Amino acid sequence: MTRVLVTGFAPFDGQKVNPSWQAAALVAAEPPAGLTVTAAELPCVFGKSVDTLRDAIRASAPDLILCLGQAGGRPGVTVERVAVNVDDARIPDNAGNQPIDEPVVPGGPAAYFSTLPVKACVAALRTAGVPAAVSNTAGTFVCNHVAYGLGHLIATEFPYARGGFVHVPWAPEQVTDGTAPALEPATVARGLRALLVAAATIPAEHDLKITEGATH
């Protein structure tokens, strides 16, 4: 059995829910065959979020780590290719912190690439009927902070694990005007189960050789 840790965030920016945590909890409640899944909710707070992630990794000793975050406005589930070593917060986090042009890890590498097969993960999501794409930016808010923090934790403390970050769209209940794209957390969870099976069986170095690039 492959041990998996899936994380999502607490609500932020005045929202009552966070679909990343909703989806993570659903996957843990009904994991795919062959995987044992533990879910952990991270605070939407710079610094503390990575500390909580570290504690969850120590507690569950996962082989595979999938961190989820909310990306309101994106039409599908996006598998992040890279996280950068910068915090530049457009809005304060849930503790009132608003770092500007500060490193996630002082002296750390400029970036960490996902150690998941990102293109195979996208293909698995689409096969499950969930709109998906590769993303080349996780932003510069707490999602990127955790994505970079995860890469640094794997590189420095938990080399036995593989992991990456995935953004999910708003849940329908968050879209009040009916114009922004949204996905039911149950639909996201269905896709994530397929993603996890692909991630557990395909090494990053054997990822699909298909185009998923972007011109801007």
Give the residue numbers annotated as catalytic, written as ranges: 80, 143, 167
- CA dist., res. 203 & res. 180, Å (int): 35
3-state SS, residue 19: helix
Specify whether the CB–CB gap between 165 and 147 falls below 8 A.
Answer: yes
- DSSP, res 140: S
Task: State the pairing for strand pair 162-168/64-70.
Answer: parallel
Give the DSSP per-residue string, 28-88. HHSPPTTEEEEEEEEPSSTTHHHHHHHHHHHHH--SEEEEEEE-TT-SSEEEE-EEES-B-
Beta strands in 71-136 (DSSP E): 77-80, 82-84, 111-113, 132-135
Which residues, including other chains, have CB under 8 Å from residue 97's CB and lie 6 or more apart? 45, 46, 47, 89
Q: In residues, how long is the chain? A: 216
- CA dist., res. 18 & res. 168, Å (int): 10
